[in-house]
Amino acid sequence: YGTFEFATTMNMHLLGALLATLCYLSCSQDSYMPPQFEFGTSPDGLLTANSTVLLNDGVYIPLFGLGVYQSDPGEETEQAVTWALQYGYRHVDTAAIYRNEESVGKAILKFGIPREEIFVTTKIWNDNHGYEETLTAGKASLERLGIGYIDLLLMHAPGEKTVSTWQAMIQLKEEGICRSVGVSNFGVHHLEELERATGVTPSVNQIEVSPYLQRRDLVEYCKKHGIAVEGYSPLTKGIKLSDPVLIKIANKYPGKTPAHVLIRWSVQQGFITIPKSIQEERIKANIDVFNFELDKEDMADLELLEEYLLTGWDPTVSEWNP
């Protein structure tokens, strides 16, 4: 990997991040190489709890993970992450605005899993947009996590100073603070303008997506441009779990529920999927979607459920602000 000369005044936080990244790169991947596929190709026959998606920058991200949105910092988040790791999750999605990065990091470190076998995503909040602000925010997130490096750093949503924020994120990647950079809640016009302004394509666009909010044009754009789609709120925050269509499909598969159908639809589309829960039984149940496959009839029925159901905000339609 070449020779590095470190000045004695070099920030020790950055030093730790760089060394951790080198450790990751030097670790043999042969003993930990789950099934992989590129986003936009058919994952049929490959899906397991350890399936990974190859991002456009060469980083592999687990297809399935735990979201910790609205999980209280402290014991609640630490316990949820611990249960997730116990049940085979290897991907945790947090954000600065969630206020639980430190709890995520503590749970990971306490669990003792090798760093290269866990994937952690966090996000830059809109209040920290701008070049210097983003540099500071990214390093602060890593310090709170305390895990050596961030696997994926996302811009939480388009907002003011989008271009300089993105440029700072690229710099954070170059410094070893994170391994990959992407965006969240970006619409097609945001992605087009970002590409035009910087020439650097995000590795991921994390958006709300479900059978009731399929975002076909946006998903197709991402596929065409090599941007992996990561879907949050795959369970529609429980709004549609009593839908007769979901119940009918779930009844075809022993032991499966409408929640399983929604999660399975998402992973079967090839979307990186991060259902959120703080309850042990639901965390355990949510990952139990890799022992069955929705058939073509099921997928066709689910295709008809589109109604642009938003369970939260929708920055994808906001104006572009460079």
Q: How far apart are CA 262 and CA 250, in angstroms?
A: 10
Judge whether 98 counts as a catalytic residue: yes
Query: 168: part of which helix (H) or strand (E)?
Result: helix 162-174
| Contacts of range 23-31, beta carbons closer than 8 Å, 24 or more positions apart | 23/115, 23/116, 23/148, 24/115, 24/116, 24/149, 24/179, 25/1, 26/1, 27/114, 27/116
Q: How far apart are CA 82 and CA 280, in angstroms?
A: 10
Query: 314: part of which helix (H) or strand (E)?
Result: none
Contact 99, 73 (CB under 8 A): yes
Q: Exposed, middle or buried, 81 (CB in 10 Å: 0-12/13-18/19+)? A: buried
Catalytic residue selected from 98, 212, 221, 232: 98
Query: 152: part of which helix (H) or strand (E)?
Result: strand 150-155
Residues annotated as catalytic (active site), given as ranges? 98
